Structure 1
Amino acid sequence: MDAITLLKNDHKDMRALLAALEATTTRAVKKRESLLAKIEANLKAHTSIEEEIFYPAFKQAGSKSDDDKMYFEALEEHRAAGDLVLPDLLETDPSTDNFSGRAKVLKELVEHHAGEEEKEMFPRARKLLEKAELLALGEQMEIRKRELMRG
């Protein structure tokens, strides 16, 4: 599977998990905890493979200032979701409306980020990188993702 297909599949899975979390009520504490654990594991694995493998390849192949902007913006969006919003959500009582609000903010951040990648970065990556390169990156990313999900 090529790198972009892998990342798009991750986006689809993450959107489904976040939608399921948003649909829960304050009484569904166990379900919220279970979904949040899955979201955390998947988000960490996804951002890691992007930051360790895909983004550096994109940045290296890029030649325009717009490519650099996409790269740095993507990193900042990861930081906002993974280092700021997710940790707050993990420490929030799942039986509260505060949890619901933070879950919604995480969902909106992730959807915005995934949408930008799919509309801007991925089409650009297809122009910058050969099919064989995208396949090789995809293989590396699959292996690394499996390691991260196990660990």
Structure 2
Amino acid sequence: MDITDLILDDHREQRRLFAILEQIDRAETGVLSAIWGRLAAFLELHALAEEEIFYPALLQVGIAARRTARVEDETFDAIHDHNEIRDAIAEVAQHQVGTDAWYAAVAAANLANSDHMAEEEREGLTDFRRLARLTRRHQLAVAFAAYEARNYAGVEPVDKDPAAYVRAAEQKLRPPVRGSLNVGGLKQN
């Protein structure tokens, strides 16, 4: 099991659900609503799982391989994309299911998501396969699968500041300062 394969599996499922929406008669609003609800929740969960598990690991291996600027840019772009996808999902909710406006909003969400997946598949996943050992990719796959399973009922969509995300993730990667003592969450020397 490899985290990059799990992410690609999720991408295939997202594409499949968008394609299903395109093939349902617009009068079947109950079906459209149910499938969109599943897809919207899945998009949110997938993004958060990546933010919690994959992107910190990508930063870690990229920094270790002296590719800091590249993985920082990839991660920054991914978090920005996730925000755009979340915003597109929220826009769909502003329209009555089955209307032209709803379909246009779904199409915008599909475009934002498709652009993100294509970039991630070309860059982040490719870099990660090159930089991370299979044992590490397996460990992360287990964590990723568990995260999605624990949160199958959905997660709260929250936009993140991409630069702050990258800084916080990198801060967690830095070893503690020698001689410091962590007491009650505060570092003390």
Structure 2: how far apart are the matches of 1:67 and 1:98? 37
| Mapping for residues 20-99 of structure 1, pairs under 5 Å | 20-62=20-62, 63-64=66-67, 65-82=69-86, 84-99=87-102
Amino acid at match of 2:44: K
Specify which structure has the higher proportion of helix: 1
Which of structure 1's runs of 4+ aligned residues deviate more than 4 A? none
Is residue 22–residue 104 contact of structure 1 (8 Å, CA) maintained in 2?
A: no
Where do 5+ consecutive residues of structure 2 fail to align? Answer: 155-189
Decide which moves more: 115-124 or 3-12. 115-124
Question: Which one of the candidate residues 111, 114, 131 is aligned to 2:114?
Answer: 111
Q: Return the offset for 1:4.
A: 0.3
1:46-86: per-residue Cα shift (whole Å, max 9, x none)?
Answer: 1111000000010121132121111100000000001x110
The answer as to whether partners of 1:36 and 1:90 remain within 8 angstroms in 2 is no
Q: Deviations over 1:11-43 (max 9, x none)?
A: 000000011113334312111101111112211
What residue identity is the alignment partner of 2:73?
Answer: K
Matches of 2:139 and 2:45, distance apart in 1: 18
CA distance in 1: counterparts of 2:22 and 2:150, whole angstroms: 29
Q: TM-score, normalised by structure 1?
A: 0.94
Query: Which of 108, 126, 140 matches 2:129?
Result: 126
Equivalent residue letter for 2:77: E
Q: Structure 2: how far apart are the matches of 1:23 and 1:104?
A: 13
RMSD (Å), alpha carbons? 1.2
Structure 2 counterpart of 1:94, one-letter code: V
> Which letter does structure 2 place at the counterpart of 1:31?
V
Q: Secondary structure at the match of 1:123?
A: helix
SS of 1:149's equivalent in the other structure is coil
Q: Could you list the runs of 5+ residues in structure 1 that have no partner in the other structure?
A: none
Task: Determine the structure 1 residue equivalent to 2:18.
Answer: 18
| TM-score computed with the length of structure 2 as normaliser | 0.76
Task: Work out which of the two has the higher radius of gyration on C-alpha atoms and give 1 or 2.
Answer: 2
Higher RCO (CA < 8 A, seq sep 6+): 1
Per-residue deviation at 1:10?
0.2
* Percent identity of paired positions between Structure 1 and Structure 2: 25
Contact 1:54 1:137 (C-alpha < 8 Å) held by counterparts: yes
Q: Which amino acid aligns with 2:146?
A: I
**How many Å separate the matches in 2 of 1:131 and 1:50?**
18
Give me the whole-angstrom Cα distance separating, in 2, the residues matched to 1:27 and 1:136. Answer: 45
